[in-house]
Amino acid sequence: MNKTADIKEKNTPASLIDGDFIRNPEHESGKNPFIWSLENLTPDQIAAPVPPKKKSVADYVIDIARNLLLVICLGVFAYSAYAIVQQLIDYRRAELLYTEAADMMGEFDPLNFDTSAFENLDTAYQGNPALRKSAAMPRFDNTKIATSTSEQLDEALSNVKVSGYNARLEKMKSKLNAMSLKNPDIFGWIIVGGTQISYPVVQSTDNDYYLKRAFNGEYLPAGSIFADYRNYKSIMKNFNTVIYGHNMLDGLMFNGIVYFMDEEFFKNNKYIDVYTSEGIYTYEVFSIYKARYDEGYIRTEFENYDQFIEFEELCNSKSLFQREGIEFKEGDRMLTLSTCTNGPWYYRYALHAQLINVQT
């Protein structure tokens, strides 16, 4: 065997190997092996094209269903994107609107009225004389209905002297009156200590109107903080003043009520102030729990004080945590805040507070 030929074969590039022979560029035309193979194809070596498969009715149905599903998915995606953007816009609108209202009212921190500083409310008194221990609310006959009870109470309070000029209250009154000129439904203003809750309160002739309306009457999904339509605007006429608000996921409105579900927060934060054109009402939180919407925690009508005290005790017994020093007696007035849980639609957070001070 020729050694030179063997060496030459070993050094020949693999790209020049075609079948069982070697194409040597030195002896051939130098054409690319692929091009050369195409030029030497015969008709018998070319496969005939495969005819397309004829679609059945089922194939057409599947294609239509697939395209329809695609259109539906695109539609759902587009609507979801729109809904998210619109929700963000609504959140921003609510934030700006209520921030503007808060700026107009000015900075009003909770009063944090400390009852320990007034062990003898007869001599060290601030607020309404009707809350003195020696001037408890009159005992009403058990046969009297709630309406006549409120009328008698209103008559008793009409003889109460104003405790003196209160610059803080007068400032709030003037601003609430200014808001009332724009919307007569203005009920007052609420501040819940330890939370972001500081909002105007409105009241309509039903409990639906302000669910998706701002305090100025404009459409707003975040709605308003509003008092139950069954309550009197004169707070002292109400055994149980009930106020509602949405539990917004962005922290607005009554979202702060959720904080009281934490025991440490419940212990360290307990005061709520409600401002109206008649006075500043300070409440002490004593109960927080989750309730069904139809559980009766928003009850407003009571035949007598005994029945109302039973209601207070029931609300207290349902609380997740207990507040020390809470006593229920004649003359009590209560505040109930209610908001949704963002869980099952029929559940609500119920927050109850007892009136401890009035400034007029």
Per-residue H/E/C for 52-98: CCCCCHHHHHHHHHHHHHHHHHHHHHHHHHHHHHHHHHHHHHHHHHH
Residue corresponding to tokens 């998210």: 84
Q: What is the value of pTM for the model shown?
A: 0.65
Q: Express each pLDDT in 28-45 by its tens digit.
A: 556 677 777 777 777 766
In eight-state DSSP terms, residue 139 is P
Q: What are the beta bridge partners of residue 243? A: 227, 337
Q: Express each pLDDT in 350-360 by its tens digit.
A: 999 999 999 88
**Res. 160 pLDDT band, cuts 50 70 90:** very low
**Res. 153 pLDDT band, cuts 50 70 90:** low
Q: What distance in Å separates the CA atoms of residue 281 and residue 274, rounded to the nearest whole number?
A: 5
In eight-state DSSP terms, residue 176 is H
Give the list of residues 6+ apart from residue 250 with CB closer than 8 angstroms, or none.
91, 95
Radius of gyration of the chain (CA): 39
Catalytic residue numbers?
Answer: 340
* Cα–Cα–Cα angle for 165, 170, 174, rounded to 5 degrees: 155
| pLDDT at residue 71 is higher than 50 | yes
In eight-state DSSP terms, residue 140 is P
Select the CATH number that applies to the domain covering 85-359 from these four: 3.40.50.970, 2.40.260.10, 2.40.50.100, 3.30.460.10. 2.40.260.10
Residue extent(s) of CATH 2.40.260.10 domains in the chain: 85-359
Backbone angles phi, psi at 122, to 5 degrees: -75, -35
Least confident of 46-55, 74-83, 109-118: 109-118
pLDDT reported for residue 133: 32
To the nearest whole percent, how much of the chain has pLDDT over 90? 45
In eight-state DSSP terms, residue 277 is S
CB atoms within 10 A of CB 40: 8
**Higher-pLDDT residue of 76, 89:** 76
Q: What are the beta bridge partners of residue 335? A: 241, 353
Q: What distance in Å separates the CA atoms of residue 172 and residue 104, rounded to the nearest whole number?
A: 10
For 220, the token pair is 């707003």
**How many CA atoms lie less than 13 Å away from 208 in the CB half-sphere?**
0
For 350, the token pair is 């119920």
Which has the closest alpha carbon to 352: 300, 286, 307? 286
Type of residue numbered 224: S
Mean pLDDT of 155-166: 45
Mean pLDDT of the chain: 77
Query: What pairing do the DSSP bridges indicate for beta strands 240-244 and 225-227?
Result: antiparallel
| pLDDT at residue 313 is higher than 90 | yes
Query: Helices (DSSP H) in 106-166: which residue ranges?
Result: 146-157
**Res. 261 pLDDT band, cuts 50 70 90:** very high
Residue 201 three-state SS: strand
**Res. 230 pLDDT band, cuts 50 70 90:** very high
Mean pLDDT of 57-79: 82
| pLDDT at residue 172 is higher than 60 | yes
Backbone angles phi, psi at 41, to 5 degrees: -70, 145
Q: Express each pLDDT in 322-350 by its tens digit.
A: 999 999 999 999 999 999 998 999 999 99
Give the list of residues 6+ apart from residue 141 with CB closer than 8 angstroms, or none.
304
**Res. 285 pLDDT band, cuts 50 70 90:** very high
pLDDT reported for residue 83: 65
Least confident of 86-90, 160-164, 299-303: 160-164
Residue corresponding to tokens 């009154």: 173
Q: What distance in Å separates the CA atoms of residue 285 and residue 259, rounded to the nearest whole number?
A: 12
pLDDT reported for residue 106: 66
* Cα–Cα–Cα angle for 340, 344, 345, rounded to 5 degrees: 55
For 326, the token pair is 């809470």
pLDDT reported for residue 155: 45
Q: Express each pLDDT in 196-221 by its tens digit.
A: 999 999 999 999 999 999 999 999 88
